[in-house]
Structure 1
Amino acid sequence: MATITQRTTHFTLRFLAQPCTVNFGGKVHGGTVMSWIDQAGYACSSGWSQRYCVTAYVGGIRFVRPIKIGDVVEVEARLAYTGDTSMNIAVEVRSGDLKGGGLEKTTECAIVMVLVDADGKPVAVEPFHPTDDAGKTLAAEVKKRLVGR
């Protein structure tokens, strides 16, 4: 069994889209995709804080294209920056056919996770501020998605 001993700033889920996730149009249900986003956000935020976190907000969700049953799905969550008690995360969902071609973006959004204590009260999170250009760009994109929340 692997042990996570250091803080992580990203987490990726990979799996196959299963028939039990189908909507009336024959594609993966949007609510299922949102559940996957929440799971990846939890894993990313808990990887950084190394404690229990809860979803406070999902914003700017954009469904770009549908996911087909049988596609390989990749849900990538990346920590963009932290607040006092929150972790602001960019999530991108990609999918594609295993028999050829690459993965294409299907959904993107920003998610805010909050570090909480045993009573569910927010507590201070270890600060994370990007230092490289790619990280700063990601932080700016997440901030733009979260405007108006």
Structure 2
Amino acid sequence: MLSFAMEHPGRSVNYSKTTITELMIPSYANFGGKIHGGILLSLIDKVAYACASKHAGNYCVTVSVDGVEFLQPVEVGDLVSLHASVNYAGNTSMVVGIKVIAENVKLGTVKHTNTSYVTMVAKDDNNNPTSVPPLILENKEEVRRFVESLKRRELKLSFNAKMDEAKSGLDLDHALEILRDQRCIVKLH
């Protein structure tokens, strides 16, 4: 058995797995009659908090919401279940993976509507970042998700560095050249 010596014995992925189920009511609908994306984002944030705070044993705050994919619309009357688990634990941060499932109980249909990854940071009583327990990985799926979280973080850091580099080296003439074949109208005053 592979293990890592740490000050805390760790917590398993199953320890903090969290599911929230909510009925989608008419007041949640947008002008197109589908459930508003903001409602789903709010529920995603809520389940991420519940999952992360259970793993950390502390209050947690949202740092970023990454990879929100709206795969299919959610309808009024659907029962929406948000399944959350800690995929990665760092020193003070965690990545919570969330799968959203919508069930039409009348038709008996179930569909995967959203996937999201939320980074949360644990806070102590003085609102300072605080250590979280290591994550105990008990199967290949949990190992895969942990490694994917590391890769996603690595790609995000690389992307942010490249964007910072691009912003710092962009002058107006170069920007106008880039925009020449784009669908925009530049009206500088």
Instruction: Please give the root-mean-square deviation of Cα atoms over the aligned residues, in Å.
Output: 1.7
What is residue 174 of structure 2 aligned with on the other side?
Answer: none
State the identity as a percent.
Answer: 33
Which stretches of structure 1, 4 residues or longer, exceed 4 Å deviation after superposition? none
Matched, 1:142 2:146: no
Using the alignment, how far apart are the partners of 1:33 and 1:114 within structure 2?
Answer: 21
- Runs of 5+ in structure 1 lacking a partner? 1-5
> Once the 2 structures are TM-superposed, how far is the Cα of residue 131 of structure 1 from its aligned partner?
3.3
Corresponding residue number in structure 2 for 1:16: 23
Q: In the aligned structure 2, how far is the partner of 1:145 from the partner of 1:9?
A: 22
1:81 & 1:9 partners in 2: Cα distance? Answer: 12
Amino acid corresponding to residue 32 of structure 1 in structure 2:
I
Q: Is residue 92 of structure 2 the alignment partner of residue 85 of structure 1?
A: yes
Give the superposition deviation at 1:99: 1.6
Q: Deviations over 1:62-121 (max 9, x none)?
A: 100110000010001111120000111101111021123342110101111110012321
Do the aligned residues in 2 keep the contact of 1:96 with 1:103 (CA within 8 Å)? yes
TM-score by length of 1: 0.88
- Cα gap change, 1:87/1:76 in structure 2, threshold over 3 Å: closer, same or farther? same
Aligned residue for 1:35, secondary structure, equals: helix
More displaced 10-residue stretch of structure 1: 47-56 or 61-70: 47-56
Highest Rg: 1 or 2?
2
The answer to whether the aligner puts 1:46 opposite 2:53 as a matched pair is: yes
- How far, CA to CA, are the matches of 1:65 and 1:143 in structure 2? 27
Q: Give the 5 Å matches for 1:120-131.
A: 120-131=127-138
Query: Residues of 2 paired with 1:144 and 1:105: CA distance?
Result: 24
Whichever structure has more helix as a proportion of its residues is 2
Q: Name stretches of at least 5 consecutive residues in structure 2 with no aligned partner.
A: 1-10, 158-189
Instruction: Tell me if the contact between 1:42 and 1:54 (Cα under 8 Å) persists in the aligned partners.
Output: yes
